[in-house]
Each structure stands twice: as C-alpha cells, then as structure tokens.
Amino acid sequence: MTRSGPDAHSAAAVIVAAGRGTRAGGDAPKQWHQLAGQPVIAHTLDVFRRHAAISQIVLVTHPDDADRLAALDTGGVQIVPGGADRAASVRAGIDAVTGCDRVLIHDVARPLVAGAVIDAVLEALMSHDGAAPALPVTDALWMGADGIVTGTRDRSGLYRAQTPQGFALNAIRAAHAAHAGGAADDVEVARAYGLNVAIVPGDEDNIKITMPGDFARAERLLWGRNGH
C-alpha cells in the first residue's frame, strides 16, 4: 500500500552499535577502530546525518563504551543503551523512535553505505512493509567439511543481505515483540510475522567490517570516494 501523511517522506535511522566485534581484532570493538582518521562509528553516523530524508537518528550503544562515546560527536543523535543481544538492542532502538512512521535499521559496521542505497530502501517502503538491499550471489557455492568439498549448492535466487533494512515502524515493532529470538537479521523477524519485504539493489562497496583485513579495504574505498 502507498503510504501518505506528514511522515511519509521522512524516516528514522536506528544504528545498532552495541556489539563487541571480537573477530575484527584489536583492543576495542570494531566500531571504535580508527578508519581514515575517525572511528568507524563516526563515518556511519555522518552518512545518515547527511541524508535529507533522515529526521531522527537513534544510536544503540553498549554501557562499556561510555568513555568512548563521550569523545564522539553525537550532536543531534539520541543515545539508548543496548540489550543482551542484537534483537534486544534493535527493540530498544525502535522503541525510541518518535515522529516517523518508517525506520531504517543499520549495522554500525557498514560505514560505506551510499545515499542511493538509502534512497532505494525508502522508495520501496512507499509500497511495502519492508525493504532491504541485497546483492545476487554470483560465485559457485560449495559445501564442505574438514577442508574437503562435499557438494555444491544452486545459487539461483540467493542474495547477500545488506543494511539498512527499512520497515513500517509499527509493523516491525509488532514483529519483534512476537519473535522468539535467534534471527539472522530484521528481515527474518519481519517475514516470520508475515510482512512483505522488497529487495532493492545493494552496493559492493557497502561492506560490513568483520575481519582485520576489512579495515584496509574500507579505508581504500573511503579515500577513493574523497578523491585521494
């Protein structure tokens, strides 16, 4: 259905930043690692601050990060404490949203999301309960055990999911309230509740920083965008 009304062209962004990110290495969670002179979290916030359709930003953080948070520019950003797992943190974030009927849920470890991806999600939300960016799987898929290939999988219809994942606010609140937990992402929560979720084109540069080598790749992409 097409959405209308005073909030139809704006949205809130919930940035989930309460995780510990241990696989990325170092002595701090990955969102606090330096990337081109700023913490990863600062780059992610800047993307949503710059987007004209984002009227509220909710940053979900871990209590252990209070000192780091104090050194971050959080002007115009609402800070809420995270929960025991990602789902609880998302619920805390969406519960803090006011004045919008659409919400984008984004992983803090994706600092290179492009405005065009956000635009595509918001556009799809005008006619769907949810929308999320994804990339078709193009590589061959294997199954394996103990370092040996044990089979192959058909890649037809498979996608690599990205964020932000956008939803009608009341619908995703209800979906999370009804979910038993253990979902891979918010699209899984939404679909379990019966919501329809559109796929919009993702972006190869919208990487999720997970492993140590991802920082160097993200930094190269950032410098490339800035003309260096």
CATH number at residue 178: 3.90.550.10
The residue among 142, 166, 146 whose CA lies nearest residue 53 is 166
With a cut of 80, say whether residue 198 has pLDDT above it.
yes
Binning pLDDT at 50, 70 and 90, where does residue 25 land? low
User: How many domains would you assign to the chain?
Assistant: 1
Residue 199, pLDDT > 80, answer yes
* 16 domain-assigned: yes
Q: According to the model, what pLDDT value does residue 26 have? A: 62
pLDDT of res. 27: 73
- pTM of this prediction? 0.92
- Quick check: 3 pLDDT over 70? no
Q: Is residue 4 in some structural domain?
A: no
> Is 57:27 a contact under the CB 8 Å cutoff?
no
The amino acid occupying position 58 is V
Query: Would you say residue 75 lies in a domain?
Result: yes
User: What whole-number percentage of the chain has pLDDT above 70?
Assistant: 92
- In SS3 terms, 183-221 reads as CCCHHHHHHHCCCCEEEEECCCCCCCCCCCHHHHHHHHH
Q: Does 6 reside within a domain?
A: no
| Residue 91 within any structural domain of the chain | yes
Cβ proximity of 80 and 58 under 8 Å: yes
HSE at residue 7, side-chain half, CA atoms within 13 A, is 15
Residue 2 forms part of a structural domain: no
**Residue 14 predicted with pLDDT over 80:** yes
Given a cut of 80, whether residue 60 has pLDDT beyond it is yes
Lowest mean pLDDT among 15-24, 35-44, 120-129: 15-24
Q: Give the pLDDT mean for 102-115.
A: 97
Q: Looking at the DSSP assignment, which residues form a beta bridge with residue 200?
A: 133
Are the beta carbons of 25 and 34 closer than 8 angstroms? no
User: Is residue 206 domain-resident?
Assistant: yes
Share the mean pLDDT of the chain.
92
In a domain? residue 89: yes
Residue numbers of the domain that contains 115: 11-225
